[in-house]
């Protein structure tokens, strides 16, 4: 399991325009993005006691959350992901699932997961059984990503954050989502062993501090 450093900043549109200009001078747009950005839809899991949400709000030192995710409305490639955080460092594990498998999870048809042969799918199954994890809410947003080789740096702007409220039918393109309150633009900076000074300088905005903003948490505003 590889852990990475992560900064998050809540910024406004003027901040994004300024940082974007600085980044374009030193970093590259992610080659997987379409017209410089992509649309992300995720389905997050939690239990009846809101374990993942409470641990985030309380700042628990070790915590994890599960989600299923796809990009640009393309359901031919869907990933189950587990994001873990320990002592401020983050890691992400991932496994592919088919659209049919994702729908079976949403529908509560789970027995196949135990024999799937994919460790992460089996782990989610185990925790759905032992902790009561279930699909909780959809989180939609637009991401504008940049990459920088030294330090394996990834800088992203996330905006237009929307919530499915309590809807979990995330494979349905007609599923209604609504803006997640007055959510800000989120600047995320991730890196491995070191953050190059050129990137550190490019993402600096006066008056902005590192925050623990969670798109999942803000999307739970309606339940």
What CATH number is attached to the domain comprising 199?
3.20.100.30
pLDDT at 37 over 70: yes
pTM for the model: 0.94
Domain enclosing residue 132, as ranges: 5-214
The residue written with tokens 């587990």 in the block is 82
Share of the chain above pLDDT 90, in %: 83
Select the highest-mean-pLDDT range: 28-32, 180-184, 192-196: 192-196
Mean pLDDT of the chain: 94
- Among all chains, which residue has been given the structure tokens 């990933």? 79
Q: Would residue 68 count as lying in a domain?
A: yes
Residue 221, in any domain of the structure = no
Residue 205 has pLDDT above 90, yes or no: no
Q: Do 101 and 110 form a contact (C-beta atoms < 8 A)? A: no
Split at pLDDT 50, 70, 90, the class of 27 is: very high
Rg (alpha carbons) of the chain, rounded to whole number: 18
Question: What is the DSSP-derived secondary structure letter of residue 166?
Answer: T
Spatial CB neighbours of 127, under 8 Å, sequence gap ≥ 6: 66, 133
- Give per-residue pLDDT as tens, 53-100: 999 989 898 999 999 999 999 999 999 999 999 988 999 999 999 999
- Rounded Cα–Cα distance for residues 85 and 5 (Å): 10
State the total domains in the chain.
Answer: 1
Please indicate, yes or no, if residue 223 is contained in any of the structural domains: no
* Domain-located, residue 167: yes
pLDDT digits (tens, 9 = 90+) for 124-178: 999 999 999 999 999 999 999 999 999 999 999 999 999 987 789 999 888 889 9
Q: Residues, the chain, total?
A: 223
Does residue 222 sit within a domain?
no
Q: Is 220 a member of any domain?
A: no
Q: Is residue 219 part of a domain?
A: no
**Count of helices and strands (H, E) across the chain:** 6, 10
DSSP 194: -
The enclosing H or E element of 159 equals strand 153-163
DSSP 30-56: -TTSBTTBEEEEEEEEE-TT-HHHHHH
């Amino acid at each position: 399991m590889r852990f990475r450093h992560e900064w998050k900043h809540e910024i406004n549109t003027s901040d994004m325009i300024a940082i974007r200009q600085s980044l374009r001078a030193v970093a590259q747009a992610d080659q997987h993005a379409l017209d410089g950005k992509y649309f992300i839809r995720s389905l997050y899991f939690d239990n009846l006691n809101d374990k993942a949400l409470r641990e985030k709000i309380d700042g628990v030192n070790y915590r994890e959350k599960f989600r299923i995710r796809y990009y640009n409305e393309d359901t031919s490639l869907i990933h189950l992901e587990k994001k873990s955080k320990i002592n401020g460092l983050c890691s992400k594990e991932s496994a592919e699932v088919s659209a049919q498998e994702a729908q079976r999870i949403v529908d509560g048809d789970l027995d196949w997961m135990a024999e799937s042969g994919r460790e992460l799918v089996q782990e989610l199954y185990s925790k759905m059984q032992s902790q009561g994890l279930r699909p909780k809410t959809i989180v939609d947003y637009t991401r504008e990503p940049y990459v920088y080789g030294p330090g394996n740096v990834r800088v992203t702007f996330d905006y237009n954050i929307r919530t499915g409220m309590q809807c979990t039918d995330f494979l349905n393109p007609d599923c209604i989502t609504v803006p997640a309150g007055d959510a800000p633009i989120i600047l995320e900076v991730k890196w491995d062993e070191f953050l190059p000074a050129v990137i550190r300088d490019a993402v600096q905005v006066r008056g902005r501090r590192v925050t623990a903003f969670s798109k999942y948490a803000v999307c739970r505003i309606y339940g």
